Chains A and B, each alone.
Chain A
Amino acid sequence: MRRGGKQLALYLVVLLGALVILVPFYMILVNSFKGIRESALFGMGLPSEWLFANYEKVFEQGNIVRGFKNSFLLAGLTVLCVNLFASMAAFVIQRRDDRLMRSLYLTFIIGLIVPVSIVPTIRLMDILGIKGTYFSMIMYYTAVLLPFSVFLLVGFMKQIPRELDEAAMIEGAGFFRLYFRIILPLLITVLVTVSIVVIVSVWNDFFGPFYLVTDSTKWTIVLQIFNFVSLYNTNWGVVFAFMVIVVLPVLLIYLLLQRYIIDGLTAGSVKG
């Protein structure tokens, strides 16, 4: 009896916590179907009349498809660069494990901690003649996300036995073959984790493009919603609809692949 009561109390606490998390999501969704007056009340009730016009208005802005394309392009290409560069580096860092590689590892870890110097980054892109280009954004994101990825991958690489390398080399495989045919396939789980972290970080980021992108045709979806809200913040219904559109892709990725996020973070950051 007492035990049952305790269980019930715990359950209620968890339920309440889940409610606190879910209410804002519900609020965004339900208000995205309300008219201008009703949505400004931020009510929790269902719309008196379901309006899809808010979504039409968001798409009428015209740029939204371009914003989506920009976000996808940046996220996709950054995923490629980070996965390739970080896993190759993690491979030699963990396998060589000499003084040089240890200091390299430490340098990456420091990059995990210290903040980006964003204003000088603008200057650097200018000097390199790539200011405001997609390429500059991809390089910026790759540099920022490398430390965390190297950290996760080095942790994971320890679990792949060296004997495997030796066997492959005796069979006459070169290093590229060894790496692409044997090591990479074994890293799939953690590479998926890295990819999700990269996609979510790039998709949600405002800081980078705010400073580094001036040309509005290269704006990401998050920069567009920021601009949209500054201009049209009088119609909350439309703003809520825009929010649904921005949140939906990452939420879907999360719900489909959450196992990888949780497993990968666990393996990389706790087991050590």
Chain B
Amino acid sequence: MERRKYPLYFSYPAVVVFLLFFIAPTLIGVYYSFTNWNINADSVKFIGFDNYAALFQEPRLGKALSNTLIFAAAVTVLQNVIGFALALVMNESIRMRNFFRTVFFMPYVIAPIIIGYVFRAIYHPEHGIVNKLLEGVGLGFMAQDWLNDPKWALFSIIITDLWKVSGFAMVIYLAGLQFIPKDLLESAAIDGANYWHRLKNIILPLIASSTTVNILLSLIGSMKVFEMVMVLTDGGPGYTTEVFYTYIRSTFSMGEMGYSTAINLVLFALVTLVGLPVLAALKKREVEM
């Protein structure tokens, strides 16, 4: 059937909703980031680059930027390493495989705010299970006030996020592994390729599309982290765990809407910068559409 016969109007509902409620706020945001829009002002006035000038003088922006990047990099790398390792093990015929797969993915469907509350209990300096375990095995000197110690707070949030997202990466990798023909691996083994060779030369190249999807999703997702940080530390102690969305929330709560919109746009630029190369990789898939 001729391609152009398919009616365009089928796409209109999605296009209208997406343009109006996703694209339009972004564009409006560009305008408001150049205004003094705040809770006390009688009228919204155009103030040029004032918000940005003030923003880039704040050390707090630097903290939010570096924390967001550290968080995103650490989560992306570790989530993929853990997820891939789990997938390799789960791809073997081990007992109760389906049960384990169900369990590993489970945290992914839990609200981040709830995960934050549980881990507040888990990291509790006196009664939390982490410190109790350390004391139990004679490593009591390693016990910390995980969320209130500037040295450990961001680390503890990263671990919490990994607890949530590793199972997701595992599922995507498992899917990729299932497309690798078993006899290919067997004949390589017969030819004398050891496990590392098979991993490097057969498995890794053949699961490239899983890797792309996983890296894209964890990078993008972790740069937008909000609820978990808000509940665990709310950016503290000081600004040691401040990320973009906690910064936006705090300026918004002070009624500085124009200013918080400017911060949002900096995040927008950052995510676009990091996301574009990965998007290019995804576009290759689109060719096959």
Q: Which residues of B119-174 have CB atoms within 8 Å of chain A's CB atoms?
A: 119, 121-122, 124, 127-129, 163, 167, 171-172
Segment at the B interface, from A53-61, A62-70, A114-122, A187-195: A114-122
> Which of the residues B14, B106, B114, B268 comes within 8 Å of A115, measured between beta carbons?
B268
Interface presence of B15 (CB below 8 A): yes
| Given A95-B6, A272-B209: A89 in contact with B14 (beta carbons within 8 A) | yes
Q: Which residues of A46-98 have CB atoms within 8 Å of chain B's CB atoms?
A: 81, 84-86, 88-89, 91-98
A146 touching B118 by the CB < 8 A rule? no
Interface presence of B42 (CB below 8 A): no
A18 touching B104 by the CB < 8 A rule? yes
Q: Which residue of B lies closest to A162 (CB)?
A: B1
B213 touching A143 by the CB < 8 A rule? no
Interface presence of A198 (CB below 8 A): no
Q: Distance (Å) between the CB of B10 and the closest chain A CB?
A: 4
| Given A114-B275, A229-B117: A119 in contact with B104 (beta carbons within 8 A) | no
A121 touching B21 by the CB < 8 A rule? yes
Interface presence of B72 (CB below 8 A): no
Q: Which residues of B1-45 have CB atoms within 8 Å of chain A's CB atoms?
A: 1, 3-4, 6-8, 10-11, 13-15, 17-18, 20-26, 28-29, 32, 37
Q: Which residues of A135-181 have CB atoms within 8 Å of chain B's CB atoms?
A: 139-140, 142-144, 146-147, 150, 154, 158, 162, 165-166, 169, 175, 179
Alpha-carbon separation in the docked complex, A10 to B94 (Å): 9
Which residues of B lie under 8 Å from residue A24 when comparing CB positions?
115, 118-119, 122, 163
| Given A123-B32, A143-B20, A150-B14: A247 in contact with B121 (beta carbons within 8 A) | no
13 further A-B pairs in the complex, CB-CB below 8 A; given A21-B167, A266-B172: A14-B86, A41-B127, A88-B13, A89-B11, A107-B23, A109-B283, A119-B261, A120-B25, A124-B28, A143-B18, A246-B111, A251-B110, A254-B105
Q: Which chain A residues have a beta carbon within 8 Å of chain B's beta carbons?
A: 7, 10-11, 13-14, 17-18, 20-25, 27-28, 31, 40-44, 81, 84-86, 88-89, 91-98, 101-102, 104-124, 139-140, 142-144, 146-147, 150, 154, 158, 162, 165-166, 169, 175, 179, 200, 203-207, 211, 222, 225-226, 229, 236, 239, 243, 246-247, 250-251, 253-255, 258, 261-262, 265-266, 269-270, 272
| 16 A-B residue pairings within 8 Å (CB atoms) | A17-B86, A17-B100, A42-B128, A88-B10, A92-B7, A93-B11, A96-B3, A96-B4, A105-B286, A115-B268, A139-B21, A146-B22, A207-B226, A222-B111, A262-B171, A265-B175
